[in-house]
Copies of this chain bind each other. A is one copy, B any other.
């Protein structure tokens, strides 16, 4: 018996997109779905009840952060992550690979999941070799990655086996094989070298996982890498999907990893999903802007996670609306007694006005971040829900067109 079951219920004709149902040991996820990110065992500013009320089906926590604080062994003794954080629904943990990347090759360069070369803080560096003078907290070797804690500077070493062990201790329903995330600016030779490591680590993750009883209750997803290179991306998708453990076990689903330039995202997702087997779930790691969600769903992605909605809400009071982003601290909202969006069904929009939210942000009140996070998470969760309903109703392209027309204006 496999820990998850995935069933496709409807497809977008002549495209990769599909709607489905993902059954996990902690409940069912209607896909495509937006996954709320609870980095340190909490979606920032929200109780599990607020998350459920918002319509959240599934949550992703970060292996790297929880390994360092409070420690995966402590969480295991607490009865696992579900019990520890009081979230009884479907849950996933990432591999830790992306955090190690952002401490290593990308450290100090402001490189994130998607590069916007127009923004000065995200200028793409010429190259990211080890001798470019930027101090690093992580070093990648063939056996694993050594890194220093961003909290106390202590030295740690993570191998594929260690990543599995941590994720077993955390006990999420869906876990990921350890991978190396590369910058899109790396040379092809490095991309290929890193990809070989990612594949070797995927194999070791698969072996370790399936030699343990956790394989019965935790699904292991393999991560496809390969940067912006079509040949590497396709090769990676094929190798990861064909990979088997000694006992013949295969991955229960797939993650599409990487740090992307905005323009490369579409092609990478398409290449990968053209290669992956249709009958297993696919997660696009760390991507979640509205336009990327439409692109992903259209091209066969089933799950998305992204910190942007809660981070944007908290840090600058930036709110998603169907007409684009709204900065709630703008003077014009101080006396605006309408909701963020009058037709939005979220708790924030059904109870509070823009003027009240503006006041909370100006007064630096915690409730401002809480209510803004609720709205932004609802917005993206509900947007993907609408895409799913549109796929089922056969109206995906109409939804996409009308949304993008309004959002881009």
Contact = CB atoms under 8 A, between A and B. Distances in A.
Nearest to A40: B363
A359 B69 contact: yes
Interface stretch (A77-85, A162-170, A220-228, A280-288): A77-85
Interface stretch (A41-49, A109-117, A173-181, A199-207): A41-49
A155 interface: no
A42 B85 contact: no
A366 B84 CA distance: 17
A119 B356 CA distance: 38
Given A86-B351, A359-B41, A334 B367 contact: no
Contacts of A323: none
A347 interface: yes
Given A70-B362, A334-B70, A366-B366, A355 B44 contact: no
A342 B335 CA distance: 45
A370 interface: yes
Contacts of A351: 47-48, 86
A78 B353 contact: yes
Interface string A359-385: 110110111011100000000000000
A78 B366 CA distance: 21
B77 A347 contact: no
Contacts of A47: 50, 347, 351, 367, 370-371
A134 B334 CA distance: 36
Contact of A335 (B74, B335, B356, B366): B74
A337 B78 contact: yes
A190 interface: no
A78 B40 contact: no
A400 B44 CA distance: 39
Nearest to A86: B351
A62 to B, nearest CB: 11
A99 B109 CA distance: 47
For chain A, which range describes its interface: under 10, 10 to 19, 20 to 34, or 35 or more residues?
35 or more
A255 B382 CA distance: 48
A84 B85 CA distance: 32
A397 interface: no
Interface in A73-117: 74, 77-79, 84-86
A401 to B, nearest CB: 36
Contacts of A40: 359, 363, 365
A352 interface: yes
Interface in A333-349: 334-335, 337, 347
B370 A366 contact: yes
Given A78-B337, A365-B40, A367-B45, A356 B86 contact: yes
Contacts of A84: 353, 355-356, 359
A70 B370 contact: no
Contact of A365 (B42, B358, B367, B370): B42
Contacts of A69: 359, 362-363
Nearest to A46: B367
Given A74-B355, A351-B48, A367-B47, A360 B42 contact: yes
A48 B50 CA distance: 13
A352 B86 contact: yes
Interface string A31-54: 000000000111011111110000
16 contacts: A41-B359, A42-B360, A42-B367, A44-B366, A45-B366, A47-B347, A47-B370, A48-B351, A69-B359, A69-B362, A70-B355, A70-B363, A78-B353, A78-B355, A366-B370, A370-B370
Ranked 6 nearest A-B pairs via Cβ: A70-B359, A42-B367, A45-B366, A40-B363, A86-B351, A42-B365
